[in-house]
Structure formats: structure tokens, C-alpha cells
Amino acid sequence: MKFYNFIIKYRLVLSLTLAVVGILLNVTGTGFWPTFPLYFISAIGIFTNFFIGPLRLIQEPMEAGRVEEVEKILNTIKFPNLLYKPIRSTYYTIKGNMAMMKQDFDAAEKHLKKSSALGAPMPEAEGANKLQLGMMAMQKGNLREAEGYVRAAIRAGIPDKESEAVAYLSMCQIFMNKREFRAAKDFFRKAKACKPKTQQVVDQIKELEKYISRIPG
């Protein structure tokens, strides 16, 4: 595994080195065909460097919470538009999440919108992206945009019950604001049915329940 990560990390340097060695051997009389394997391996390395990128290296530092290391790896990607589409989507998702951790919501929204436009590799990831965009739209007070994103998140599928509860609570708040109380109550029931455990979500349900219980219908 460490050797594989080493190859990925230094893939471009190694590939260019092989190309230079091939050229030197070629001009010193070795000939093209004996050096062809060097050119071939070099071409594959350069191609995969820009087409696949180093995202494989991010898994371990992300799981360990080494945020600075993750950012350093992301910053080595100089031409993200050359990445294979699903990998490019993942790249922008991670960039968006990193920006949210820094509370840079404008950058987070920009990156997550790019990821959403590309389409996530898995429907659940797309749902999580849409939900995050919906939350940011609600923070800005743009309830129409928020409703569109949260609905899209629910349709795409949300990976965990906590986030699903947040999506339904958001829809509940949106419809309460629209004074469509029957729909608001329906979304509230769906949020409770998710049985969230996160204290913040549980507290939000308790607060909303006090208000909703007084609404007729």
C-alpha cells in the first residue's frame, strides 16, 4: 500500500524521468524500439496523473482528521478540468466540504454547485451535496432555492437518517414559512420517523413540536 501511494504521489516526476531516460538512450544510439517501453510507461503515468489525479492519497489523512494534509494533496491538482468526470465531482465535493469547515460558505457553495452539476459518482453523495446547498440557501434566506435543493436531495437519496431528518425538518420550516401547515406537519412527521440521535437535531424537533402542536389541521 505504501509503495502504491509512493507511486501515485511521485507519478508525474517518475514518468517525466522515464521519458528523459528514453530520449537520452534514443539519441545515444540505442534506437526507438528498445526504448519504447520507457515511453509507453511514461505516457501512461502522465495520462493517469491528470486523468485520475491523487485523490487516492486523501483517504488516510481524511479518516485521521489531518485536514492540512488533505488540503496539500488537493492543491497539487492544478488542472481539475482534466480529471475524469466522477473524480472531478468528488474533487469539488471535498473542496466544498473543506471550505465549509472554514466557514467560507461562498467558496463552499461554488465548489458544491460544480460537483452537483457534474453529477456525483453515487446517488447518496449527490443527495448529500444537494442538502448542503439547500442548507446554505436557507442561511441566505433564499427559501425557494433551498426548497429546490432539499427536494432534489430527498429524491436522490440521503446516506444517513440524521441527514434525512435534517432534510425533512428543513422542508417543514420552508412550508411553515409558506403557511402551508398540512405539508409542514407531514414533513415534521417524516423527520420524527427518522429517529435522529444527534442532540442538535433532537432539540430542533422538540422546539418545532411545541409550535406545530398548536397549529390546527
Consecutive 10-residue averages of pLDDT for the chain (217 residues): 80 92 87 86 93 87 82 92 90 86 84 84 75 88 91 87 91 91 92 90 88 74
* Dist. CA 165–CA 200, nearest whole Å: 11
Q: What is the pLDDT of residue 10?
A: 87
Give the angle subtended at the CA of 59 by the CAs of 7 and 77, to the nearest 5°: 60
Q: What is the pLDDT of residue 67?
A: 82
Burial class (CB within 10 angstroms; exposed 0-12, middle 13-18, buried 19+) of 18? buried
**Domains of the chain: which residue ranges?**
160-217
Q: What is the pLDDT of residue 150?
A: 94
Residue 41 contacts residue 17 (beta carbons within 8 Å)? no
